[in-house]
């Protein structure tokens, strides 16, 4: 519970989720071109530029996030360091 008189800082959830996805890609040394290739077998047709734009804006859906995580073989998502 927040201390009296102190408002909790608002969380920029879009930025956190964007950071999570970028961190998972970086951990695996996967770029956007490779991600596009890995998404194809899942039926996701995106090119490198579209992926870069989606991630830069941070305005992608939860479905896209899960598709990306599945494509790169992520089994767990770290939320504490995003």
The values of phi and psi at residue 42, to 5°, are -90, 0
Domain count, the chain: 1
- pLDDT tens column, 1-27: 556 678 888 989 899 999 999 999 999
Tokens 């494509």 belong to residue: 71
In a domain, 81, yes or no: no
| CB-based contact 71:35 (threshold 8 Å) | yes
| CB-based contact 46:3 (threshold 8 Å) | no
In a domain, 78, yes or no: no
In a domain, 4, yes or no: no
- pLDDT tens column, 40-73: 999 999 999 999 999 999 889 999 999 999 999 9
55: closest CA among 72, 75, 42, 43?
Answer: 72
In a domain, 76, yes or no: no
What is the total residue count of the chain?
A: 82
Q: In terms of pTM, does the model score above 0.95? A: no
Domain hosting residue 52, numbered range: 13-71
Tokens 């519970």 belong to residue: 1
């Amino acid at each position: 519970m927040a201390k009296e008189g102190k408002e909790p800082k608002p969380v920029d959830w879009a930025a956190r989720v964007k950071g999570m996805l970028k961190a998972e890609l970086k951990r695996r040394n996967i770029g956007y071109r490779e991600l596009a290739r890995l998404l194809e077998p899942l039926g996701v047709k995106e090119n490198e530029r579209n992926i870069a734009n989606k991630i830069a804006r941070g305005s992608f859906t939860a479905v896209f996030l899960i598709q990306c995580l599945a494509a790169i073989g992520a089994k767990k998502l770290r939320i504490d360091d995003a």
